[in-house]
Amino acid sequence: MSRDTSFYYSFLVLPPRKRSAIVAVWDFCRAVDDAVDENPAKFRFSAKSLASQRRRLGLSSVQCGLLLGASDQSVHNWEQGKTRPLARHMPAIAALRAMSKKDAVARLESMQR
C-alpha cells in the first residue's frame, strides 16, 4: 500500500498484526480490481495453467479454493478439465497469476482471523 491512498495513515493506528492482515486484504482487492479492469481477452482459462499457478504458490486445493471463493473439489475439477470456472471466479484466478507466495500466505492468514 502506498502513501498516496487515503487509507494508508488510518491503517497506521492498527496493531502490527492487524495492519499486516488488512494490507494483505487491501492488496488482494486491488489486484482483483486491476485484473477485472484489464482486457477481457486476457481471461482465457487454462486447466494446466491453474494447476501450475497453484503448485508455484505451494497451495493445496483447499487453500486455492479459499483464495478463489470456490471449493477444493471445484479447483480439482477445473485442473482436471472436467469443468470450467464460473465467470465470477475468473478475476480471482487472474489475480493468482500476479500473486507471490508471500501474498498468498498473508491472504490465507487474514482469512483465518
Structural domain boundaries of the chain?
Answer: 15-111
**pLDDT-derived band at 81, boundaries 50, 70, 90:** very high
- For residue 57, what pLDDT is reported? 94
What's the predicted TM-score (pTM) here?
0.64
**Ordered DSSP codes for the chain:** --TTSTTHHHHTTS-HHHHHHHHHHHHHHHHHHHHHHS-GGGG---HHHHHHHHHHHT--HHHHHHHHTS-HHHHHHHHHTSS---GGGHHHHHHHHH--HHHHHHHHHHH--
Per-residue model confidence as pLDDT tens digits over 18-40? 888 888 888 887 777 776 665 55
Per-residue model confidence as pLDDT tens digits over 34-59? 766 655 555 678 899 999 999 999 99
Q: What is the mean pLDDT of residues 48-72?
A: 94
CATH architecture classification, 15-111: Orthogonal Bundle (1.10)
Give the residue, 36 or 94, on which the prediction is more confident.
Answer: 94
- For residue 3, what pLDDT is reported? 56
How large a percentage of the chain has pLDDT more than 90? 40
